[in-house]
Structure 1
Amino acid sequence: MATGNPQPATDSLPEYSRAQLALRNGQDRDEVWVSYQGLIYDVTRSRLWRRGNHYEHWAGQDLTRELEVDAPHTPNVFDRFPVIGRLKTTAASAKS
């Protein structure tokens, strides 16, 4: 599905740690970022993510598990947002 928002190749994206992602929660800084399936999306311009939350979900974190269980929409909802990075994985998080 073409969205008019071309995404960069994922291997060329910068990596961010969970701590760096957590700072982009819409409260500590103006940026509002979320991670889904290892990619980080900038949802700052979305009116639905104002103040860093969208219903029961909070920005600044990896939403993969939450959305697999509790999302009324499909994962392609993220197609409308720019991918700005990759979430760094650690040996501990890769095992879980």
Structure 2
Amino acid sequence: MLKKYSKSQLSLRNGQDRDEIWVAYKGHIYDVTHSRLWRNGKHYEHWAGQDLTDELKDAPHTDKVFEKFVVVGELTP
């Protein structure tokens, strides 16, 4: 069973406040800490520590990109 995190807990994993860099998508939280594309918690115009579900429709890639990252928890509504 995955640990549950609130949006405020997720927001602390933004690459600035803590060492972890996490993003949420469709209720799952992914650790993108070691991705060179998420250095300093920013990926193009997107910021870590947020739910990116609504933003992905504007991305040049599909949600398959999340398959390479570890799921570390679930985002609580």
SS in 1 for 2:14: coil
Give unmatched runs, 5+ long, in structure 1.
1-11, 90-96
Q: Map 1:49-68 onto structure 2 (within 5 A).
A: 49-68=38-57
Deviations 1:26-79 (A, max 9, x none): 0011100000000000000000000000000000000000112x1100101000
Match of 2:23 among 27, 31, 34: 34
Measured after TM superposition, the shift of residue 85 of structure 1 is 0.3
2:59 to 63, 71, 76: 71
Q: CA RMSD in A?
A: 0.4
Write out the 4+ residue segments of structure 1 that deviate beyond 6 Å after TM superposition.
Answer: none
Higher strand share: 2
Higher fraction of helix: 1
Looking at both structures, which has the greater relative contact order when contacts are Cα pairs under 8 Å and sequence separation is at least 6?
2
1:65 is paired with a residue whose SS is: coil
The residue number in structure 1 matching 2:12 is 23
TM-score for both structures, normalised by structure 1? 0.79
Tell which structure's C-alpha radius of gyration is larger: 1
Q: Which runs of 5+ in 2 are unaligned?
A: none
